[in-house]
């Protein structure tokens, strides 16, 4: 019996789904069976000793679909080496790691995570914001170090109710954030690529004006060429010394050096950050600050969301191979460009 | 009677703005600064007309008896479990507290604690600061949206918690002394039943004889190894040794606690648990709210000495 190898289709002709040079995060947490299906096999480039271009050349004829995650970009170069590629499924919310223009040119469909992450991302925004304003992580440390009996009352935090919240990017996540913070008595305003006619919140045409009129700035937009370093010195200055910024989108939307300087010098009140420009490297100046709360880009990593993700990833791939409609297709006509 | 001669006793340090304002208007006597309290009270028994306390020390029977000229007790808190209400009534002493001004902050803190326990922000912040992110991934956490929330006590703060929880699409159940027919949330006639049907249980009722240790072994077992307890009421609401052993043994999923039986002492067995968040009684601890509370204490004292109706008497 011939030994089955990765270079030839399996005996029962199951199609292959290519995973590029990094395994998806769920594999690291649950094991590499997480997205298994009886309808397809995975080709794992990250397990091969071959450099990626050579691996792609070796398997070019068998690959019609890619399973991508944020850490394994789908570049134009990769796409050009795979003439039969017709679908990219990504496990991430963001799409900035995929050359969407190239996909559009070649008629390659893209399927994303849909809205499954929106509640968890919005919950993260609220959690980070309350933590920064009310100093919860810091106070928890204070108690667990046994300092309460000797050092007495913990310093006061700041009230959330009544704060003006400005949301940059009022998509699915931004809308869920707005709904939650309204219940805390916050007032909502936003900036987005386009004004949304059915939305009751005030719209600001530029982020500087939004920042000047709010106490909390929430970043929940996509990373594109336009939004790279969107939050710069001018915006942070407009936000001001009583302002707080929360970012669960992409690190590069904020000019990180400038943010760090503002935080260290007290030019803004605080920050809640799930993302950074050069993850997992985080500016060390932030470690000394107690008005900053950080999380390791895990706003979506709850058990429940990953289970939802598993269903969507497997569902999209199975639908594709059965010539059925994708569950969560991304409309490529509308996507702004990110040159990376 | 000239204001500056009216003696006002303050039981412990609670807020410097309050102290300053009291000092401007009255003769302020700071009980915590003296070594021999009985001697001090005896020396000033005829000049103390008001007592300002908080949730640590306020006005027990002994203090009330020691101050024959006491006319008003103004608590810098919404809870009044440290005030002997029966004795106050007997002596015709007015009692005020600080409701409403702190409702939002305490409710915000309840949600904050839920998110901290479920999503582990405290631990993940430490994970990043320690450099561990460069070497590995953080553990998975638990989603809050959609979880079943049970609220014990549907007063001002309980309702404010419910309003916030609704925005997270959580089904809400409650336990209260009596069912409230106008409330749309599901009523449970016992705390055990509420706990058995909740993923997260929030304690926010007043502390009374009936509600002392309302969270006991039976309730903790009903909440179970995936359940989370949030206490923003009073430490005595919970049988603390039972809670500690349940958490240490994994019989309860997690806890967010702002109050303890013997503050500021906190059971050390809880310090190493990453599913437990501990806070130093800061439910109302914001600059804005403490200032509002202080202003309300002062306002109640002022109207009392002007012989006008109290603004926020304890009813």
Asked if the C-beta of B138 comes within 8 angstroms of chain A's C-beta atoms, the answer is: yes
How many angstroms away from the CA of B148 is the closest CA of chain A?
15
Q: Name the pairing type of β-strands A164-168 and A87-90.
A: unpaired
What is the pLDDT at residue A44? 95
Instruction: Give the DSSP H/E element, type plus range, for residue A63.
Output: strand A63-68
Q: Does residue B19 carry a catalytic annotation? A: no
Q: Give the span between the Cα atoms of B45 and B40, in whole angstroms.
A: 8
Q: Transcribe B156-170 into DSSP letters.
A: HHHHHHHHHHHTTT-
Q: Give the span between the Cα atoms of B212 and B214, in whole angstroms.
A: 5
- Which of A130, A146, A153 is closest, CB to CB, to B108? A130
State the DSSP code for A92.
S
Alpha carbon separation from B196 to B81, B199, B224, B230 (Å, rounded) = 28, 8, 8, 15
Q: In what order do the strands lie in the sheet with B149-152?
A: B186-187, B172-175, B149-152, B200-203, B228-231, B254-257, B276-278
Q: For the packed helices A118-134 and B103-119, what is the interaxial angle rounded to 10 degrees?
A: 120
Q: Which of B49, B237, B281, B290 is catalytic?
A: B281
Query: Which residues in chain B have Cβ-Cβ distances shorter than 8 Å to A143?
Result: 266, 271, 278-280
With CA atoms as reference, the chain A residue closest to B269 would be A144
φ, ψ for residue A261, nearest 5 deg: -60, -45
Instruction: Tell me whether residues B287 and A29 touch, CB distance under 8 A.
Output: no
SS3 call for A325: coil
Comparing CA positions, the residue from B217, B176, B220, B177 lying closest to residue B196 is B220
Sequence-distant (6+) residues with CB within 8 A of B58 are B11, B51, B73, B75, B77, B80, B82, B83
How many angstroms away from the CA of B47 is the closest CA of chain A?
30
Using CB atoms within 10 Å of the CB of residue B187, give its burial: 0 to 12 exposed, 13 to 18 middle, 19+ buried: middle
What is the pLDDT at residue A7? 46
The answer, yes or no, to whether residue A6 has pLDDT greater than 60, is no
Q: Does residue B166 carry a catalytic annotation? A: no
- A36-74 residue pLDDT tens: 999 999 999 999 999 999 999 999 888 999 999 988 899
Asked if the C-beta of B19 comes within 8 angstroms of chain A's C-beta atoms, the answer is: no
Comparing CA positions, the residue from B305, B310, B308 lying closest to residue B49 is B305
- Give catalytic residues of A, as residue numbers: 250, 279, 297
Strand partners, B257: B231, B278
Asked if the C-beta of B157 comes within 8 angstroms of chain A's C-beta atoms, the answer is: no
Query: Which residues in chain A have Cβ-Cβ distances shorter than 8 Å to B122?
Result: 131, 136-137, 140-141
Query: Which residues in chain A have Cβ-Cβ distances shorter than 8 Å to B170?
Result: none
What is the pLDDT at residue A2? 42
Query: Which residues in chain B have Cβ-Cβ distances shorter than 8 Å to A275?
Result: none
Q: Transcribe A124-168 into DSSP letters.
A: HHHHHHHHHHHTHHHHHHHHHTT-HHHH-SPPPB---TT-EEEEE
Query: Which residues in chain B have Cβ-Cβ distances shorter than 8 Å to A184?
Result: 104, 108, 111, 164
Peptide bond into B264 cis (omega under 30): yes
Instruction: Tell me whether residues A294 and B128 touch, CB distance under 8 A.
Output: yes
- Which pair of tokens denotes residue B242? 């039972």
B94 and B71 Cβ atoms separated by less than 8 Å: yes
Q: Give the span between the Cα atoms of B37 and A72, in whole angstroms.
A: 70
Q: Report percent pLDDT > 70 for chain B.
A: 99
Instruction: Tell me whether residues B290 and A279 touch, CB distance under 8 A.
Output: no
Q: Give the span between the Cα atoms of A247 and A269, in whole angstroms.
A: 15
Q: Give the span between the Cα atoms of B138 and A298, in whole angstroms.
A: 8
Instruction: Tell me whether residues B279 and A143 touch, CB distance under 8 A.
Output: yes
Q: For the packed helices B121-129 and B103-119, what is the interaxial angle rounded to 10 degrees?
A: 60
Residue B2's pLDDT band, with cuts at 50, 70 and 90, is low
Comparing CA positions, the residue from B150, B252, B256 lying closest to residue B195 is B150
Q: Give the span between the Cα atoms of B108 and A168, in whole angstroms.
A: 23
- Which of B108, B168, B280 is closest, CB to CB, to A160? B108
B51 and B70 Cβ atoms separated by less than 8 Å: yes
SS3 call for B43: helix
Alpha carbon separation from B85 to A43, A49, B247, B302 (Å, rounded) = 74, 78, 35, 21
Query: Which residues in chain A have Cβ-Cβ distances shorter than 8 Å to B138?
Result: 295-296, 298, 301
Give the predicted TM-score (pTM) of the model: 0.92
Residue B281's pLDDT band, with cuts at 50, 70 and 90, is very high
Sequence-distant (6+) residues with CB within 8 A of A256 are A276, A277, A283
Question: How many CB atoms within 10 Å of residue B238?
Answer: 26
Instruction: Give the DSSP H/E element, type plus range, for residue B48.
Output: strand B48-53
B274 and B101 Cβ atoms separated by less than 8 Å: no
How many angstroms away from the CA of A333 is the closest CA of chain B?
32
Name which of B17, B77, B112, B253 to mutate to probe chain A: the one with the most chain A Cβ atoms within 10 A of its Cβ.
B112
Comparing CA positions, the residue from A129, A123, A154 lying closest to residue A141 is A154
Asked if the C-beta of B108 comes within 8 angstroms of chain A's C-beta atoms, the answer is: yes
Instruction: Tell me whether residues B264 and A149 touch, CB distance under 8 A.
Output: yes
Q: Give the span between the Cα atoms of B227 and B243, in whole angstroms.
A: 12
Sequence-distant (6+) residues with CB within 8 A of B299 are B311
The answer, yes or no, to whether residue A21 has pLDDT greater than 70, is yes
Q: Transcribe B178-229 into DSSP letters.
A: S--TT--SEE-SSHHHHHHT-SEEEE-SPP-TTTTT-B-HHHHHHH-TT-EE
Comparing CA positions, the residue from A222, A309, A277, A137 lying closest to residue B140 is A309
- Which pair of tokens denotes residue A128? 């980070």
Q: Does residue B281 carry a catalytic annotation? A: yes
Instruction: Tell me whether residues A123 and B280 touch, CB distance under 8 A.
Output: no
Alpha-helical regions (H) of B51-172: 61-66, 85-90, 103-119, 121-129, 156-166
With CA atoms as reference, the chain A residue closest to B13 would be A153
- B61-82 residue pLDDT tens: 999 999 999 999 999 999 899 9
What is the pLDDT at residue B315? 76
How many angstroms away from the CA of B1 is the closest CA of chain A?
36
Residue pairs between chains A and B whose CB atoms are closer than 8 Å: 180
With CA atoms as reference, the chain A residue closest to B257 would be A140
What is the pLDDT at residue B228? 98
As a whole number, mean pLDDT of residues A118-131 equals: 98
- Which pair of tokens denotes residue A111? 């399927």
The answer, yes or no, to whether residue A86 has pLDDT greater than 60, is yes
Using CB atoms within 10 Å of the CB of residue A196, give its burial: 0 to 12 exposed, 13 to 18 middle, 19+ buried: middle
- Which of B138, B268, B290 is closest, CB to CB, to A156? B290
- A214-245 residue pLDDT tens: 999 999 999 999 999 999 999 999 999 999 99
Side-chain-side CA neighbours of residue B16 (13 Å): 4
Sign of the Cα torsion A230, A235, A240, A241 reads positive
With CA atoms as reference, the chain B residue closest to A273 would be B125
How many angstroms away from the CA of A118 is the closest CA of chain B?
10
Asked if the C-beta of B273 comes within 8 angstroms of chain A's C-beta atoms, the answer is: no
- A279-311 residue pLDDT tens: 999 999 999 999 999 999 999 999 999 999 999
B220 and B240 Cβ atoms separated by less than 8 Å: no
How high is the mean pLDDT of chain A? 94
Instruction: Tell me whether residues B264 and A295 touch, CB distance under 8 A.
Output: no
Query: Which residues in chain A have Cβ-Cβ distances shorter than 8 Å to B282?
Result: 134-135, 139, 154, 156-157
Sequence-distant (6+) residues with CB within 8 A of B112 are A127, A130, A131, A134, A136
What is the pLDDT at residue A340? 64
With CA atoms as reference, the chain B residue closest to A139 would be B279
Q: Name the pairing type of β-strands A164-168 and B94-96.
A: unpaired
As a whole number, mean pLDDT of residues A22-41 equals: 94
Instruction: Tell me whether residues B105 and A159 touch, CB distance under 8 A.
Output: yes
- B29-60 residue pLDDT tens: 999 999 999 999 999 999 999 999 998 899 99
- A129-164 residue pLDDT tens: 999 999 999 999 999 999 999 998 899 999 999 999
Instruction: Tell me whether residues B125 and A134 touch, CB distance under 8 A.
Output: no
Instruction: Tell me whether residues A295 and B128 touch, CB distance under 8 A.
Output: yes
């Amino acid at each position: 019996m011939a030994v089955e190898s990765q270079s030839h289709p399996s005996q029962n002709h199951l199609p292959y789904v290519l995973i590029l040079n990094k395994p998806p995060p769920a594999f690291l947490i649950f094991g590499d069976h997480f997205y298994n299906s009886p309808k397809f096999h995975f080709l794992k480039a990250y397990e091969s000793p071959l450099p990626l271009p050579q691996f792609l050349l070796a398997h070019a004829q068998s690959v019609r679909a890619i399973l991508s995650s944020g850490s394994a970009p789908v570049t134009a170069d990769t796409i050009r080496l795979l003439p039969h590629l017709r679908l990219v499924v990504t496990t991430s919310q963001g799409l900035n790691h995929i050359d969407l223009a190239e996909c559009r040119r070649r008629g390659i469909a893209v399927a994303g995570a849909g809205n499954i992450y929106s509640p968890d991302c919005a919950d993260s925004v609220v959690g980070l914001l309350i933590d920064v304003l009310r100093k919860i992580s810091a106070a928890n440390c204070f108690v667990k170090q046994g300092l309460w009996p000797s050092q007495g009352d913990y310093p006061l935090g700041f009230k959330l109710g009544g704060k003006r919240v400005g949301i940059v990017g009022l998509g699915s996540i931004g809308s869920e954030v707005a709904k939650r913070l309204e219940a805390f008595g916050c007032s909502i305003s936003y900036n987005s690529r386009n004004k949304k006619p059915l939305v009751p919140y005030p719209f600001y045409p530029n982020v500087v004006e939004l920042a000047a009129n709010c106490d909390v700035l929430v970043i929940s937009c996509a990373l594109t060429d336009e939004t790279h370093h969107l939050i710069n010195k001018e915006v942070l200055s407009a936000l001001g010394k009583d302002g707080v910024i929360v970012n669960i989108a992409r690190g590069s939307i904020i000019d990180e050096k400038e943010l760090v300087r503002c935080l260290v010098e007290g030019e803004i009140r605080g920050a809640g950050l799930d993302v950074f420009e050069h993850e997992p490297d985080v500016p060390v100046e932030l470690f000394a600050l107690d008005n900053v709360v950080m999380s390791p880009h895990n706003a979506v990593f709850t058990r429940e969301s990953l289970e939802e993700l598993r269903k969507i990833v497997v569902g999209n791939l199975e639908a594709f191979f059965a010539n059925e409609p994708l569950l969560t297709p991304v409309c490529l006509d509308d996507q702004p460009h990110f040159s990376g | 009677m000239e204001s500056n001669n009216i003696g006002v006793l303050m039981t412990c340090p609670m807020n410097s703005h309050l102290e300053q304002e009291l000092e401007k208007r009255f003769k302020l006597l700071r009980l915590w600064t003296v070594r021999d309290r009985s001697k001090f009270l005896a020396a000033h028994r005829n000049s103390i007309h008001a007592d300002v306390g908080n949730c640590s020390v306020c006005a027990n029977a002994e203090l009330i008896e020691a101050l024959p000229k006491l006319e008003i007790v103004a608590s810098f808190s919404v809870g009044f479990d440290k005030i002997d209400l029966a004795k106050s009534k007997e002596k015709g002493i007015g009692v005020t507290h600080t409701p409403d001004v702190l409702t939002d902050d305490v409710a915000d803190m309840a949600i904050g604690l839920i998110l901290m326990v479920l999503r582990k922000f405290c631990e993940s912040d430490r994970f990043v600061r320690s450099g561990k992110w460069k070497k590995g991934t953080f553990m998975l956490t638990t989603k809050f949206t959609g979880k079943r929330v049970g609220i014990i006590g549907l007063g001002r703060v309980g309702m404010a918690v419910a309003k916030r929880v609704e925005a997270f699409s959580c089904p809400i159940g409650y336990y209260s002394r009596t069912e409230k027919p106008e409330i749309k949330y599901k009523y449970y006639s016992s705390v055990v039943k509420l706990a058995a049907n909740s993923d997260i249980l929030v304690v926010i009722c007043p502390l009374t004889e009936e509600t002392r240790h309302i969270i006991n072994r039976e309730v903790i077992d009903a909440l179970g190894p995936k359940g989370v307890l949030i206490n923003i009421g009073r430490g005595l609401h919970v049988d603390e040794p039972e809670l500690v052993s349940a958490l240490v043994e994994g019989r309860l999923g997690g806890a967010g606690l702002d109050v303890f039986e013997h503050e500021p002492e906190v059971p050390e067995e809880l310090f190493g648990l990453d599913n437990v968040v501990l806070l130093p009684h800061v439910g109302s601890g914001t600059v804005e709210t403490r200032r509002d509370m202080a202003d309300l204490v002062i306002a109640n004292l002022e109207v009392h000495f002007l012989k006008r109706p109290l603004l926020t008497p304890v009813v």
